[in-house]
Structure 1
Amino acid sequence: MLESDDTSQRHILTPSSLNRLVRDLLGDVFPLVWIEGELSNVAKPASGHLYFTLKDSGAQVRCAMFKMKAATLRFRPVDGMQVLVRAKVGLYEPRGEFQLVAESMEPAGEGALQREFEQLKARLDAEGLFAQARKRPLPRYARRIGVITSATGAAVRDVLSVMARRWPLADVEVLPVPVQGREAPAAIVAMLSKASASQRYDVLLLTRGGGSLEDLWAFNDEKVARAIHASAVPVVSAVGHEIDFSIADFVADLRAPTPSAAAELLVPDAAAISRHLQQLQQRLLTLQQRKLQAHAQRVDHLFARLQAQRPQARLARDHERLLHLQRRLSAVLREQSQRRHTRLERLHARLLALHPRARLPLLARRLAEQDQRLRRAIAYTLERQQTALRHAGHALHSVSPLATLERGYAILFDDAGQVVRSSANVSDGDTVKARLADGELKLRVLGE
């Protein structure tokens, strides 16, 4: 704020308040900005913050990237590296120094390529080149496969090795092209067009090994993408490692994470198919055996039916049936005869039981049994009563005075025969009788 000419209205700032005001003004005026330059004075102290200077040929600016943002960097910043920084414009208040507070940072060349990649990807996606509906299925057993790649790279060796091991019956042809550099996109487009027009291949594999974004850039070319889209035969793309994605991957009918994985997807496993064929053969043999057994049983059944319809067989069967009925009739007659005999024996026994002479022994036995039972009951009752009487005598004796005398006690009687119950009932010189268990004693009362 400018100083007023009127000293009475003067507003005085301190260095701290001035720096704070400038910081706020810069933050309000400038949004996040992208700035490209060369790194210098890169320092990362123990705090985890990153401090550096961003410069070009004519100027430089001090920058800071705090710990949380610095931890997200996917590369190691070093002096001399050209980078693209997204930052807030600010002021370091304690020193009053103009600085940038970085939010993100990436290598300048890679960042530009990445933006170009995203723009092309969005445009082709909007045109429908990535649509899942247009992607074609791969042939299950490809007879001839064209591999568009470098003839000297590791990718072609991996592909040929995997295909030879898994499915030697496939005819694999290497269609050599450069896979990086300025001439690579045009060569790839020409080979795709030639292979598609030849109608020689069942499927095409476009592949190369891993590398940087710049190394893989030929597969992010728009002409290559449109050539893949225009191919008359299915195209499999296997560019780089599993984490690498190219425009060719999105346009192709199938994307494989690595060249070796693409080879495994393109050809079946001969060993697995051999095992499957053996299983099918075993199932076929089992089904044939079951059908033969079923037909043999049917023939036996039809032969038995044919034999059963012959007159001699019918006569033999009827004769066997007649014999069986005769045996059953004889058994029934024997059973009925036995039942009648048993019934007659029971009636005879009942008649004998009703005769008076036959009843006398029975009644005598019953009378003897009743006499024995009565005698046993009388003896049992007498024994019980004697036992009860003994118990009662013992109980009565236990409360009898005689029992008390037997324990050494005595009962005193006066001359009148009355029991002396207290010393007050007798006087000095009186005569008393003491009753003991085995007799009596005459006693005289003596005074004290």
Structure 2
Amino acid sequence: MSDLPANPSVEREIFSPSQLVRQTRDLIEGAFPLIWIEGEISNFSRPASGHLYFSLKDAGAQVRCAMFKPKSTWLRFKPVDGMHVLVRARVSLYEARGEFQILVDHMEEAGEGALKREFERLKAQLAAEGLFDPASKRALPRLPRRIGVVTSASGAAIRDVLAVLGRRFPLAAVDVIPVPVQGKEAPPAIVAALAAASRAAVHDVLLVTRGGGSIEDLWAFNDEAVARAIRASAVPVVSAIGHEVDFTIADFVADLRAATPSAAAELLVPDANDLARDLRHRLTRLELLMRRGLQARAQRLDRAYARLDAHRPQARLALGASRLATLHQRLRHAAAERHHRAERRVGDLAARLERRHPARQIERARQLIDERHARLRRALTDRLGRQRALVAELGRTLHAVSPLATLSRGYAILFDENGRVLRASGDAASGASLRAKLHDGELRLRVD
């Protein structure tokens, strides 16, 4: 029996393999965002192109994966078969073969990735609780007399710390509080050591430190109990875990984080040489201030002697005589100045009176009348000239538009018997009498 539809007129949608694979790929990529996949590497290969091709599998299934060269160059480890990894990838379909595949954007070892996720989770939790709040950080003592170092007694970190402390500030007493810094037994031991040091209250500051290592080696300092013990300590705590690029939860919760154990030792104590220079500088300043104080007191004593000498009777009489002579001189000078001002005022008044004499005023008035008369004559003459020019110009303009000017050029104006001007030939009937006005007279006409 045929599989064709009963009605041949029904249209069928026919896909090519490329169209089918392409639409399937679009559906898959649209349904899955960027996802994380954890599994074991198998069938790993790295051709000359630099791309990585492998499968990720678990006990029940496997999927083909590809990581192209621009992304694979950033890997910090060498993938091999059997390695357990965590990848961030996009789900897709390889069109040429119609195969389901995973395009890997990032890959990391699964164990390290799990620890990093736990690290970020705990970091976010403690930050939300306020354990990292900068306002809760305590200041370190400037000159600590006793320092407690919570670390391994046999590690390189304690040797570096002791060497720096001994070189910079040998006056500070250092107590090594030995604890394991790696493994399962490390977190409870560190918590116990911090609690004991806090209760003892004999240290000015505590340093929690160890040397560098992998994230697994440093994991004891990412323990929640250790972080809470650091925050609960009654003594300020400095954290120096691993190398400069390493960060642990202990670094965030401590009152101060140092990049290395040696850097922590330098932050804990001042340099003895710097203190000696500072002491010498302060001694010099003290001597200078003492000298200035003695000089100021000597000057005050001299001023007191001068004031005492000024209050003697002989000095007061001499001062009074000097003031009397000065006042007498000022009085003479003031009288002379007043006399001069009076003379100048009299001269000014005489000059003003002379300027206001009636004869002078009459003369000035006559001069003013003459000036104004001359100005009036000039104004009248100018105005008459302008009026004559205007009349002449108006005459020329009127003559240019006058009918008489038109008649002088050979034209005539016709009037009927009633004196009306003829403007068209139809206005004059046959036999009518007309009058033609010319330039130099008139003519009597009859229409024929």
**Same fold at TM > 0.5:** yes
- Please tell me whether residue 262 in structure 1 is matched to residue 264 in structure 2: yes
Give the partner amino acid of 2:292: R
Which residue number corresponds to residue 92 of structure 2? 90
- Please tell me whether residue 65 in structure 1 is matched to residue 67 in structure 2: yes
Give the C-alpha shift of residue 278 in structure 1: 1.0
Give SS of 1:214's match.
coil
Distance 1:132 1:305, change over 3 A: closer
Which residue number corresponds to residue 395 of structure 1? none
- Please tell me whether residue 213 in structure 1 is matched to residue 212 in structure 2: no
Give SS of 2:41's match.
strand
Rounded Cα–Cα distance in structure 1 between residues aligned with 2:311 and 2:251? 77
C-alpha offsets along residues 143-182 of structure 1, whole Å, 9 cap, x if unaligned?
A: 1111000111111111111111111111111100000101
Q: Which has the larger radius of gyration?
A: 1
Which residue number corresponds to residue 298 of structure 2? 296
Give the partner amino acid of 1:123: Q
Rounded Cα–Cα distance in structure 1 between residues aligned with 2:23 and 2:3? 18
C-alpha offsets along residues 256-275 of structure 1, whole Å, 9 cap, x if unaligned?
A: 12111111111111111111
Q: Once structures 1 and 2 are overlaid, which stretch shifts more, 196-205 or 5-14?
A: 5-14
Give the partner amino acid of 1:135: K
Give SS of 1:295's match.
helix
Consecutive unaligned residues of structure 2, counting only runs of 5 or more, are 326-448
Which residue number corresponds to residue 204 of structure 1? 206
Aligned partner (choices 107, 116, 119) of residue 117 of structure 1 = 119
C-alpha offsets along residues 349-388 of structure 1, whole Å, 9 cap, x if unaligned?
A: xxxxxxxxxxxxxxxxxxxxxxxxxxxxxxxxxxxxxxxx
C-alpha offsets along residues 176-198 of structure 1, whole Å, 9 cap, x if unaligned?
A: 00001010001001111111111
Rounded Cα–Cα distance in structure 2 between residues aligned with 1:227 and 1:308? 77
Conserved? CA contact 1:49–1:64, under 8 Å:
yes
C-alpha offsets along residues 54-113 of structure 1, whole Å, 9 cap, x if unaligned?
A: 234554322112334334434343343211112222221112222111122111001111
Give SS of 2:167's match.
helix
Give SS of 1:152's match.
coil
Overall identity of the aligned pairs, in %: 67
Rounded Cα–Cα distance in structure 2 between residues aligned with 1:151 and 1:42? 45
Consecutive unaligned residues of structure 1, counting only runs of 5 or more, are 326-448
- Please tell me whether residue 227 in structure 1 is matched to residue 229 in structure 2: yes
Give the partner amino acid of 2:149: V
Conserved? CA contact 1:180–1:215, under 8 Å:
yes
Give the C-alpha shift of residue 213 in structure 1: 0.8
Rounded Cα–Cα distance in structure 2 between residues aligned with 1:144 and 1:57? 58
TM score, norm. by length of structure 1 = 0.65
Rounded Cα–Cα distance in structure 2 between residues aligned with 1:278 and 1:262? 27
Rounded Cα–Cα distance in structure 1 between residues aligned with 2:3 and 2:113? 50
Give the C-alpha shift of residue 308 in structure 1: 6.3
Give SS of 2:244's match.
coil
Give the C-alpha shift of residue 288 in structure 1: 1.4
- Please tell me whether residue 6 in structure 1 is matched to residue 5 in structure 2: yes
Rounded Cα–Cα distance in structure 2 between residues aligned with 1:184 and 1:20? 56
Across the two proteins, how many residue pairs are aligned to each other? 321
Which residue number corresponds to residue 24 of structure 2? 22
Rounded Cα–Cα distance in structure 2 between residues aligned with 1:21 and 1:303? 111
Conserved? CA contact 1:4–1:10, under 8 Å:
no
Give the partner amino acid of 1:108: A
TM score, norm. by length of structure 2 = 0.65
Rounded Cα–Cα distance in structure 2 between residues aligned with 1:187 and 1:227? 11
